[in-house]
Homo-oligomer: A and B are copies of this chain.
């Protein structure tokens, strides 16, 4: 028996198929796809070993032949959706290319709202993550900074996108498991915020909220954030 969780192991290093024994009934991709389907439909909490097994149509414990620990299932999921990144031929305009990367990552995370939560806890060198990283570096070829700096750029871009989307989705994901609506939850929180600001204890905060009374244009905020990150890495001439 090989690696039932008693040895440190990267799941990607474990062969999908070893010589002996009956043929495995599923591929890693099948399992990842099933888990992603469940998470998309019912949130990350809907991804349990039992549910995934049921979705596949096998017994719960059979899953452990493919995935030694639940955490590895998460890694499979992250890799699977990372494969949805479109990788194009770099245009030569690194700024435009990286903007496109940022927007695409955001779209990916909105399609799979559970992704930000997993991204911040996973070490992340799955095959598709490596492909994605290589693609970013290719887009950055025209940028004249050190290789290390390019990595830092990609890291910061991902950090900003991830946290912005996470905040955007926080309420929606929270209310998913609660018996009342997202609007009601938001209203209650805004009301509390208003009451606190109205005490006068936070004058600058009060001024800010008074100024921007209308709803915030999330799209514009995100766009500005991306632009600023890229500016921060543009060599000043």
Contact at A121–B171, with CB atoms within 8 Å?
no
Instruction: Tell me how many residues of A have a C-beta within 8 Å of chain B.
Output: 73
Contact A174 B212 (CB under 8 A): no
Give residues of chain A (180-197) contacting chain B, Cβ–Cβ below 8 Å: 180, 184-185, 187-189, 191-193, 195-196
- Complex contact B148–A211 (CB within 8 A): yes
Q: In this assembly, does A164 line the interface, its C-beta being within 8 Å of a C-beta of chain B? A: yes
**Chain B residues, CB < 8 A from A61:** none
Q: Residues 188-230 of chain A: 1 if any B CB is under 8 Å from the residue's CB, otherwise 0?
A: 1101110110000111110110011000000001001100110
A212 and B147 within 8 A (CB)? yes
* Chain A 133-152: CB-based contact to B (< 8 A → 1; otherwise 0): 11001100100001110111
Q: A13-B195, A160-B156 are in contact. Are A185 and B127 (CB under 8 A)?
A: no
Q: Does A97 contact B (CB under 8 A)?
A: no
Q: Is the CB of A116 within 8 A of B127?
A: no
Min C-beta distance of A100 to chain B, whole Å: 18
A136 CB to closest chain B CB, in angstroms?
Answer: 9
Q: Is A162 an interface residue (CB 8 A)?
A: yes
Write out the residue numbers on chain B whose beta carbons fall within 8 Å of the beta carbon of A179: 6
The answer to whether B174 touches A164 (Cβ under 8 A) is: no
Tell me the bound Cα distance from A163 to B195 in angstroms.
31
Q: List 13 A-B contacts (CB under 8 A).
A: A8-B185, A116-B120, A120-B120, A123-B189, A130-B205, A134-B203, A147-B204, A151-B208, A159-B159, A159-B162, A159-B163, A159-B164, A162-B163
Judging by beta carbons under 8 Å apart, are B208 and A147 in contact? Answer: yes
Name the interface residues of A62-77: CB closer than 8 Å to any CB of B.
71
**Cβ contacts under 8 Å, A26 to chain B:** none
A78 at the interface (CB under 8 A from B): no
Other-chain residue from B137, B180, B201 in contact with A204 (beta carbon distance below 8 A): B137
A170 x B121 contact (CB < 8 A): yes
Interface string of A114-125 (1 = CB under 8 A from B): 001100111101
User: Contact between A188 and B8 (Cβ–Cβ < 8 Å)?
Assistant: yes
- Pick from B8, B133, B163: contact of A180, CB below 8 A: B8
Contact A212/B148 with A9-B188, A123-B170, A134-B205 known, Cβ cut-off 8 Å = yes
